[in-house]
Amino acid sequence: MSAKKILQLVCVAASFGALIWLLSRIGWPTISTALGHLGPVSAGVLVALGVAEGLFDSLALRVVTGPALRVGHAMAINSAGSMLNLILPWESGEVLKGGLLHGEFGASRAASSTIIWNYIFKISRPALSLSAAILATILCRRQISGATLGWVMTANILAFTPYLVLRFAIRLGGTEKAVSLLRRLPYLRRSPAHWVEVARAVDREVRGFWRQRTWAFVQVFGLQLVARSTGWLNIYFGFRAIGAPYGFAQATLLYATMNVAEYLISLLPARIGVNEGTAFFVFRFYNLDANLGLVLYSFLRVRNILVHGLIAPFAFVDRKTVQKAADAPTPSPP
């Protein structure tokens, strides 16, 4: 067996191992309690929303890369990155996405596609969250103080900061400058001129994406908006699933608040349990049932692990080998 095959098998096994480990970190009693509050129909709706989020994000990635990337493989790559983001901080899964795209599109195209997807993501996510904050200000003005709603609004406006920073870095040719600084790394030191040229190509493609592929930019933005809206629906349908006495207004306020909180959570070295704990305190802050909030977000965490954990291993399957096996001639009968 070749070294490449062994590496693929190790990656597949590691993905399934990560799935089991993440579930055990949450705790089987917590999982049992969360599932006990949900009927099969409600659980199915929430699982469908999780799959839909991954599908629309994958479609957005396919628009950036082009039709050569199949939807199924895009979903597997997206799930692999999401699984890594559940374990490691600082959105490390985006690096994995770029690495998985490298085999099909080369270094320049893989890097630029990943950067473009995240560049637009840093607009679409706060845009929808800010819309939720504005709507929450209207719907919850009698239940929540104006000062609190003002802080939520301000925090959502500040959530555009990562986009502005990335935009500034792209205008300055940030990829080329980063590669120039990292030239001493063994992997880049082998052919520094090549990697600087790759970085320049990445910067050119990212800067020109809006001008040269305006409709693609709009498509990616729209698909990401639909993907992010599933998070909003998760809370609303989650309330109905667990029998919580809350409606659309509370779901809207919680979505706007939790989105801002997740920007801070992404900087922490630990991910498992942090989101659920944050939800507990956010629910309590708004005088909502904190235990129901913990149950809801625990289920959503389990759902994400299951959905992405079952799809992610396919990102490490060698598509060329599978295609060759499928195209192999069938031996004729004697």
Q: Which is higher by pLDDT, 147 or 208? A: 147
Residue 323 lies in a domain: no
Q: Give the amino acid at 189.
A: R
Question: Would you place residue 76 in the very low, low, confident or very high pLDDT band (cuts 50, 70, 90)?
Answer: very high
**Which ranges in the chain belong to alpha helices (H)?**
3-26, 28-36, 40-65, 71-87, 93-139, 146-158, 161-171, 174-181, 186-189, 192-212, 214-242, 248-265, 274-285, 290-311, 319-327
Q: Report yes or no on 330 lying in a domain.
A: no
What span, in angstroms and rounded, lies between the C-alpha atoms of 334 and 331?
Answer: 9
pLDDT score at 302: 84
Write out the two tokens for 169. Answer: 């870095």
- CA-to-CA separations, 44 to 38, 72, 83, 237, in angstroms, rounded: 10, 21, 21, 11
Highest mean pLDDT among 94-98, 149-153, 196-200, 259-263: 149-153
Say whether pLDDT at 27 is over 80. Answer: no
Residue 43: which domain range?
A: 3-318
- Mean of the per-residue pLDDT values of the chain: 82
Most confident of 28-42, 159-173, 187-201, 247-261: 247-261
pLDDT digits (tens, 9 = 90+) for 255-287: 999 999 988 777 766 566 678 788 888 999 999
Confidence of residue 207 (pLDDT cuts 50, 70, 90): confident
What's phi and psi for 182, nearest 5 deg?
A: -95, 15
Quick one: residue 243, left, alpha or beta (phi over 0 = left, psi -120 to 50 = alpha)? Answer: left
331 domain-assigned: no
Residue 193: band (very low, low, confident or very high) from pLDDT cuts 50, 70, 90: low
Residue 69 has pLDDT above 90, yes or no: yes
Q: What is the pLDDT at residue 190?
A: 55
Q: Which of 16, 152, 162, 27 is nearest to 80 (CA)?
A: 16
Higher pLDDT, 314 or 265: 314
In a domain, 333, yes or no: no
Q: Is 76 domain-assigned?
A: yes
* pLDDT over threshold 60, residue 194: no
Q: Is the pLDDT of residue 121 over 70?
A: yes
Quote the pLDDT of residue 18: 64
Q: How confident is the model at residue 32 (pLDDT cuts 50, 70, 90)?
A: confident
Any domain includes 50: yes
Q: How many domains does the chain have?
A: 1
More confident: 101 or 86: 101
- Has residue 303 got a pLDDT over 50? yes
The first and second tokens of residue 166, run together, are: 């990335």
Q: How confident is the model at residue 93 (pLDDT cuts 50, 70, 90)?
A: confident
Is the pLDDT at 148 greater than 50? The verdict is yes
The DSSP output letter for 273 is T
Q: Would the pLDDT of 138 be above 60?
A: yes
| pLDDT single digits (tens) 228-247 | 999 999 999 999 888 888 99
| pTM attached to this predicted model | 0.84
Q: What is the pLDDT of residue 220?
A: 97
Q: What is the pLDDT of residues 34-57, one digit of tens each?
A: 667 777 888 899 999 999 999 999
133: which 2 tokens?
Answer: 């904050």
Residue 120 lies in a domain: yes
Q: What percent of the chain has pLDDT over 70?
A: 75
Q: Tell me if 329 is assigned to some domain.
A: no
Asked if residue 97 lies in contact with residue 78, where contact means CB atoms within 8 angstroms, the answer is yes
